[in-house]
Chains A and B, each alone.
Chain A
């Protein structure tokens, strides 16, 4: 099977810090992949490169068999123009750790805005889709409320609805529950689980919730110091970690 996302020899540095070291990594259509690992190990950067929020220093990222960051002009590979990037972004959606809801819009408007502005949907159509999506995340009673009046868990659920309504083929979740109070984590994880189980969307989940990763992921990859130190079937990886780094990383969650 051909991968839907393919990282080939991808490196990324910030100053002296090499956050991704020559990464080769494939994600297959419909696959739910969880990325775990200590903070600063490169997992978030991997997602940010895919969302085109940052550019790799070298290497190739392919999405649906097309080069993400480069395009061919006159037989030569050059840095992709914004037009190419916008075309590529149609396939990708992202949920951020800090939600980033639009504070000047109601919940409903937050979800309607991109379908109207970006996809050119009519107001009626956008509203209908937004309402459906908000129902799915359990927020039908909050349509006319502003983000400032929501709890963190509710905000993140709106953010998920806002990303989903764009119907991406690939969804990135960048530590979706890390900014939440412990008692609000569950409601967000439940929503993500439901989406994971019922849709054939490809999902990349960066998380510190190990039980959650075990439950929904088809494959787990452990990042450490810019490389994928270990990856495989969740049961196998969590029950029989092979590398000492993963063993010590997991022991911190079991205590």
Chain B
């Protein structure tokens, strides 16, 4: 069944596609962090209609499959004049989808900051934005880093979905190689092992971080 020579011969090609997988993960995640933070701040808006609209958008995105969203961005958007490359469409889809989860993480982190911190910021005459940047966010971020890290790993493992919108990441590369040689075992196994080798140590690292942060508080 298993052919070592064949496995080693396709390894370089799969590894070179890893660049795409990893850059899609990071670019998508930075977008998710950014959008998630904006969502979590907008949800707290005093303007009812803004807060309700954002809540609605978040629920809609969370409760529809990522794959459907990716198809929409890649295949439907061109009909309204927005044609995106597979990488851009994929990163946008991942970023938007995960921003809705991260906004929830930010929201819980923001709510964990005592109301007195806002009051004392006001009493010391910080503007609202200064209070966010100097007082609130520095207290929000450290405790939620482990949760954010876990979402990063989850998102990394979801990147093969991008092969459905023709992005040639590692799974798609393995599939193409398989289609040419009619050997799928080696390629897909290598892909699985690569994901494991990157995800498992990362999750262990996050666990350690969690213990350290826990001890600090």
> Which residues from chain A sit less than 8 Å from chain B, CB to CB?
51-53, 82, 86, 89-90, 92-94, 96, 98, 100, 102-104, 113-114, 117-118, 159, 162-163, 166
Q: Residues of B contacting A53 with CB < 8 Å?
A: 119, 122-123
Tell me the minimal C-beta distance from A68 to chain B in angstroms: 14
Assess whether B125 is in contact with A102, with CB atoms less than 8 Å apart.
Answer: no
**Which residue of B has the minimal Cβ distance to A83?**
B127
Assess whether A94 is in contact with B125, with CB atoms less than 8 Å apart.
Answer: no
Q: Residues of A contacting B123 with CB < 8 Å?
A: 51, 53, 89, 92-94, 96, 163
**Known A-B contacts A100-B114, A104-B139; A114 and B119 likewise in contact (beta carbons under 8 Å):** no
Q: Residues of A contacting B128 with CB < 8 Å?
A: 82
Q: Residues of A contacting B139 with CB < 8 Å?
A: 102-104
**Known A-B contacts A113-B134, A117-B134; A100 and B125 likewise in contact (beta carbons under 8 Å):** no
Assess whether B126 is in contact with A118, with CB atoms less than 8 Å apart.
Answer: yes
Q: Residues of B contacting A118 with CB < 8 Å?
A: 124-127, 130
Assess whether B122 is in contact with A102, with CB atoms less than 8 Å apart.
Answer: no
B108 on the A face (CB < 8 A): no
**Which residue of A has the minimal Cβ distance to B216?**
A148
Q: Residues of B contacting A113 with CB < 8 Å?
A: 124, 134
Assess whether B122 is in contact with A96, with CB atoms less than 8 Å apart.
Answer: no
B122, B124, B127, B138: the one contacting A166 at CB < 8 Å is B124
In the bound complex, CA of A235 to CA of B133 (Å): 48
**Known A-B contacts A104-B139, A113-B134; A89 and B125 likewise in contact (beta carbons under 8 Å):** yes
A52, A93, A114: the one contacting B126 at CB < 8 Å is A114
Q: Residues of B contacting A114 with CB < 8 Å?
A: 124-126
Report, as a range, how many residues of chain B touch the other chain: 10 to 19
In the bound complex, CA of A96 to CA of B114 (Å): 13
The 4 closest A-B pairs by CB, nearest first: A100-B120, A100-B116, A114-B124, A94-B123
Assess whether B122 is in contact with A52, with CB atoms less than 8 Å apart.
Answer: yes
In the bound complex, CA of A82 to CA of B124 (Å): 14
**Known A-B contacts A100-B114, A118-B130; A89 and B135 likewise in contact (beta carbons under 8 Å):** no
Assess whether B114 is in contact with A117, with CB atoms less than 8 Å apart.
Answer: no
**Known A-B contacts A102-B135, A117-B130, A118-B130; A96 and B120 likewise in contact (beta carbons under 8 Å):** yes
Assess whether B116 is in contact with A162, with CB atoms less than 8 Å apart.
Answer: no
Tell me the minimal C-beta distance from B125 to chain A in angstroms: 5
**Which residue of B has the minimal Cβ distance to A48?**
B119
In the bound complex, CA of A92 to CA of B134 (Å): 21
What number of A-B contacts does a CB cutoff of 8 Å give? Answer: 56
**Which residue of A has the minimal Cβ distance to B113?**
A103
B166 on the A face (CB < 8 A): no
Q: Residues of B contacting A163 with CB < 8 Å?
A: 123-124
Instruction: Known A-B contacts: A51-B122, A96-B120, A118-B124. Give 15 more (CB < 8 A).
Output: A51-B119, A51-B123, A52-B122, A86-B127, A89-B122, A92-B123, A96-B123, A100-B114, A100-B120, A102-B139, A104-B139, A104-B142, A117-B134, A118-B126, A163-B124
Give 16 A-B contacts (CB < 8 Å), ordered by A residue.
Answer: A51-B122, A53-B123, A82-B127, A82-B128, A86-B127, A89-B125, A90-B125, A92-B123, A93-B123, A96-B116, A100-B117, A100-B119, A103-B139, A163-B123, A163-B124, A166-B124
Q: Residues of A contacting B138 with CB < 8 Å?
A: 104
Q: Residues of B contacting A159 with CB < 8 Å?
A: 120
**Which residue of B has the minimal Cβ distance to A115?**
B124
Q: Residues of B contacting A98 with CB < 8 Å?
A: 116
Tell me the minimal C-beta distance from A79 to chain B in angstroms: 13
Assess whether B126 is in contact with A117, with CB atoms less than 8 Å apart.
Answer: yes
Assess whether A86 is in contact with B120, with CB atoms less than 8 Å apart.
Answer: no
**Which residue of B has the minimal Cβ distance to A51?**
B123
In the bound complex, CA of A89 to CA of B134 (Å): 19
Q: Residues of B contacting A90 with CB < 8 Å?
A: 125
Tell me the minimal C-beta distance from B136 to chain A in angstroms: 10
Chain B, range 90-120, C-beta contacts under 8 Å to A: 114, 116-117, 119-120
**Which residue of B has the minimal Cβ distance to A103?**
B139
In the bound complex, CA of A98 to CA of B120 (Å): 10
Q: Residues of B contacting A51 with CB < 8 Å?
A: 119, 122-123
In the bound complex, CA of A186 to CA of B14 (Å): 71
Assess whether A86 is in contact with B125, with CB atoms less than 8 Å apart.
Answer: yes
In the bound complex, CA of A82 to CA of B135 (Å): 19
In the bound complex, CA of A62 to CA of B130 (Å): 27
